[in-house]
Chain A
């Protein structure tokens, strides 16, 4: 009762003081631009000085036949597939191993998490160095081992560049996804392991019968997060290949940036970003509901 009274007593002024700043800032600099973005997507706005003209759904029609957009979608999906598989299952394997450590836990986990605290520019520079054709560490080591033929232009070879981006992303965020699994693994009650031990279960059946089913909530989380991570891949491209060679590594995010910031096609860029956002939201919700249902069954 007292609770209801304190709040009902009016206090719209108090609410204004408490909530006002957040709503004002968030509304002006996040919600408003998002709404404006949708409005711009219906225009042919091309830059800073020209006034936008309303063109209806013309941008979305152009999008349907845009070859570069199609190529960006293909590359993004290919990267996302690798990223999702790796962050869902690769980090699961690592987490299960790390969970079995009996000493030096903090140190070893700390090593795997470390790249996640580095700036993407640092990660990019390290990888650019390692993979540089003339002076990079990988090629220098191969050449000094007499394997000159194996030396490759790891970053700019169109056949390898997709893997290059994937390895860079995998390296930098492996610790993050592994930590989410580790946190979940620590919630599994000891009694279950003890019971399994009494029944003579080996590590494999402990994993299959106890750990995996109880990890399903995090599998869902990681799957969804990795999907969002993959589709939004953008900064990593800007600081490494800048979409090259050619348009080979232009992701959807990079294409939007390229259109909006470098090419002054803001109206069209907004249309692309909206189409992508709505698709991504739909996919994420779909994944979430499908996997949630599976969890209940288990």
Chain B
């Protein structure tokens, strides 16, 4: 691609950076290694190989920490939020981008402002609002919060992409007697697939990994998403059982790691999509 790099060679720079990269991720490797050991083994020598590769720690994740149900909950939450986001956000973006009137511009600014609002600002009134609506500390409240919190970025990403779609397609559809909503779903939405993939990756990963907002919206006692459950378990323990912690960390990071290895380019693109503007 680049003339400077016409020769694909594994030289000193490659070796050096590969080693640096390996050192960089070594805390993760250490976690995997130690997830197979017993606690005394970890304390005796963190770098040694396990005397016996046992699965006891991983069994404990499901018996002791009871992570199976939260894993299902988190997965369902991801699916629910993403379905809402990829229907609501592109419709709004389409409507905003295809109008020149002042309302369109006003809406665009309104959503843009949402990108900058930090969670701390809405945190307290939001909890009050959920209480008034009588959905405090429920999955519904968390779902609603994730969707509303994700909307500005999704509308932003979809709008930016929408600007590259020619209008001729819609005009043809309109001449054929297709209404606006029909045009959107039949013509535009399929064209937005690359964007939808970005949104799915970004929010899927974000919701799976989220601890803070689930912890605050669901309350510490009722939170049942994966990382809240892990946190709850850790806080209930007097003794730090590093082997269990490592097994939990490894199991909960495994799905995203596998997806990352399989689709690295899409992940990187999806996760940086919101920033390049």
Within 8 A of B (CB), among A141-196: 141, 144, 171, 176, 179-180, 183, 190, 193-194
- Interface contact B121-A34, CB-CB below 8 Å: yes
Count, chain A residues at interface, CB 8 A = 94
Given contacts A30-B114, A135-B43, A180-B272, A125 and B125 within 8 Å (CB-CB): no
User: B30-64 interface mask toward A, CB cutoff 8 Å, 1 = contact, 0 = none?
Assistant: 11000000000011011100000000000000000
The size bracket of the interface on B is: 35 or more
Give the complex CA separation of A30 and B265 in angstroms: 32
User: B201-223 interface mask toward A, CB cutoff 8 Å, 1 = contact, 0 = none?
Assistant: 00001001111100110000000
Name A239's contact: one of B17, B96, B99, B231 (CB within 8 Å). Answer: B231
- Interface contact A111-B122, CB-CB below 8 Å: no
A118 proximal to B (CB < 8 A): yes
User: A109-149 interface mask toward B, CB cutoff 8 Å, 1 = contact, 0 = none?
Assistant: 11111111111111001110110100101001100100000
User: A69-109 interface mask toward B, CB cutoff 8 Å, 1 = contact, 0 = none?
Assistant: 00000000000000000000000000001101111101111
**In chain B, what residue has the closest Cβ to A32?**
B129
Give the complex CA separation of A235 and B211 in angstroms: 8
- Interface contact A115-B18, CB-CB below 8 Å: no
- Interface contact B124-A108, CB-CB below 8 Å: no
- Interface contact A18-B128, CB-CB below 8 Å: no
B110 proximal to A (CB < 8 A): yes
Question: Which residues of chain A have C-beta atoms less than 8 A from B71's C-beta?
Answer: none
- Interface contact B92-A18, CB-CB below 8 Å: yes
- Interface contact B122-A37, CB-CB below 8 Å: yes
- Interface contact B121-A26, CB-CB below 8 Å: no
Give the complex CA separation of A190 and B179 in angstroms: 47
**In chain B, what residue has the closest Cβ to A193?**
B4
Interface of A is mostly: helix
B166 CB, nearest partner CB in chain A, Å: 11
Give the complex CA separation of A98 and B5 in angstroms: 12
Given contacts A117-B271, A193-B3, A269-B124, A112 and B242 within 8 Å (CB-CB): no
Give the complex CA separation of A260 and B271 in angstroms: 30
**In chain A, what residue has the closest Cβ to B4?**
A193
Question: Which residues of chain A have C-beta atoms less than 8 A from B144's C-beta?
Answer: 25, 29
A14 proximal to B (CB < 8 A): yes
- Interface contact A119-B3, CB-CB below 8 Å: no
- Interface contact B122-A18, CB-CB below 8 Å: no
- Interface contact A14-B180, CB-CB below 8 Å: yes
Given contacts A102-B11, A137-B46, A266-B124, A125 and B245 within 8 Å (CB-CB): yes
Which of A53-61, A273-281, A289-297 lies at the interface?
A273-281
- Interface contact A6-B17, CB-CB below 8 Å: no
- Interface contact A22-B151, CB-CB below 8 Å: yes
Question: Which residues of chain B have C-beta atoms less than 8 A from A286's C-beta?
Answer: none
- Interface contact B276-A221, CB-CB below 8 Å: yes
Name B28's contact: one of A29, A114, A120, A132 (CB within 8 Å). Answer: A114
- Interface contact B272-A176, CB-CB below 8 Å: yes
Question: Which residues of chain B have C-beta atoms less than 8 A from A126's C-beta?
Answer: 27-28, 30-31, 249
**In chain A, what residue has the closest Cβ to B249?**
A122
Within 8 A of B (CB), among A253-298: 253, 256-257, 260-261, 266, 269-270, 273-274, 276-277, 280-281, 284
Q: 17 new A-B pairs (CB below 8 Å) besides A2-B171, A14-B181, A15-B180?
A: A6-B180, A17-B181, A21-B92, A25-B88, A31-B114, A33-B129, A36-B125, A101-B17, A103-B14, A111-B22, A190-B4, A194-B3, A228-B116, A253-B120, A269-B120, A273-B121, A274-B121
- Please, could you name 10 A-B residue pairs with CB atoms under 8 Å apart, sorted by A? A11-B180, A19-B92, A22-B155, A30-B151, A32-B129, A117-B205, A118-B253, A119-B227, A260-B123, A269-B120
Closest 10 CB pairs of A and B: A111-B21, A22-B92, A29-B148, A14-B180, A119-B209, A18-B95, A33-B122, A36-B125, A33-B125, A235-B212
